[in-house]
Amino acid sequence: MSRASTETMLDRILAARRLRLEQQKAVLPFAVLEARAETAPAARDFVRELLGPDGLGKLTTGSESPRVIAELKKASPSRGVIRREYNPAVLAPSLERAGAAAFSVLTEPDFFEGSLEDLALVRRLVERPVLRKDFILERYQVVESRAAGADSFLLIAAILDDAALAGLIAAGRELGMEALVEVHNGEELRRALGAGAKMVGVNNRDLKTFEVSLQVSFELVDKIPESCVAISESGIRSRDEVKRLQAAGFDAFLIGERLMEAQEPASALSEFIGGETTLRDKE
C-alpha cells in the first residue's frame, strides 16, 4: 500500500499547516509578534464567561440556560463550503444578540477558508470572548493568537505529544489565555488532564474518519473532573441534544455547522438556547 493511500485528511491538513507556519515565521519574526501581543487588548476571561461569576461547577440540573460557543466557519474538509454568504462582521454581532456565550473562529486557510483577519474582526465587534480554532503546533502560533486578539485557543491532544501539550497550555497562561484542550477518547483525556488542562472539549467527530457520534461525549463526561470546564463539540443538531448533554454534566456546547448552514443563524442559536433569546434578537 502506498503512502498516499494511507494518508488521512488530518495528515494533509497538518502538512499544509506546517508549511504555512514556516512561511509565516520567515515573514514575521517572533520578536515582532511578541511586541504585538504585548500591546493587544487584555484577554477576556473565557472560563468565567462560560461558567458565570459563581465559579466552577458542572451544570447538572439541565434547568440553566445552556452556554453556547458559536462557531464561525465558512467551510470544512468533510462538507466543503458550508456558508457561501459568509460575513463575520454580520454574523458575530447577530449571534451575540441571540445569546452566544462566546465565539470560536476558524483561522485555518487551506481546508476551512478561515483567517486571523476574521478573528481580529470578530474580536473588535463583540464583547464576548473569542477562541482561535486552528491546528496549533508551536508557541509561535499561541503568541500569534494573542497578537490577533484571541482570548483563548484550541489545542488538539491527538496532534501534540505530552511535552508540547503542557508547554502550549503554559504559554497561553503567560499571555492571559486559557487553552481549550480537545480530546476524542479516554487516553487523550488522561493526557490532557496530565498536562494541566482546565477546559476540556470532547470532540464528537473523529478527526481521522470524520464520523460523528454524540456517544463520545456521554462516555467521557463522567471522567472530566469537577474542577474542569466540560465542553461538548461537534455534531450537536437540536435543543433536545443540548438538554441531554447538559443533564449529563457538560457546562457548554460548541456549535458551528448547524448555525452556519441555517438561513438565519441567530434564530438557529435561539432555538438551541430556548426561551426569550429569540425575542431579544428581533429587538
Q: Is 241 a catalytic residue?
A: no
Options 49, 144, 233, 241, the catalytic residue: 233
Options 76, 104, 203, 204, the catalytic residue: 203
Q: What whole-number distance in Å separates Cα of residue 185 and Cα of residue 125?
A: 36
Q: What whole-number distance in Å separates Cα of residue 189 and Cα of residue 222?
A: 11
Q: Is 203 a catalytic residue?
A: yes
Beta strand spans in 16-140 (E): 67-72, 75-76, 80-81, 102-106, 130-133
First to last CA, the chain: 60
> For 275, left (φ over 0), alpha (ψ -120 to 50), or beta?
left
Options 49, 133, 145, 270, the catalytic residue: 133
Q: Is 71 a catalytic residue?
A: yes
Q: Is 178 a catalytic residue?
A: no
Helix (H) or strand (E) segment spanning residue 36? helix 30-39
Whether 82 and 265 have beta carbons less than 8 Å apart is answered as: no
Q: Residue 51 has which C-alpha cell?
A: 461558567
Options 76, 204, 232, 234, the catalytic residue: 234
Q: Is 234 a catalytic residue?
A: yes
Q: Is 25 a catalytic residue?
A: no
Whether 236 and 252 have beta carbons less than 8 Å apart is answered as: no
Please, which residues bridge with residue 72 across strands? Answer: 105
Strand 229-233 and strand 199-203: the pairing is parallel
Q: Residue 216 half-sphere exposure, CB side, CA atoms within 13 Å? A: 25
Q: What whole-number distance in Å separates Cα of residue 114 and Cα of residue 112?
A: 5
Options 49, 71, 96, 178, the catalytic residue: 71
Q: Active-site residue numbers?
A: 71, 73, 133, 182, 203, 233-234
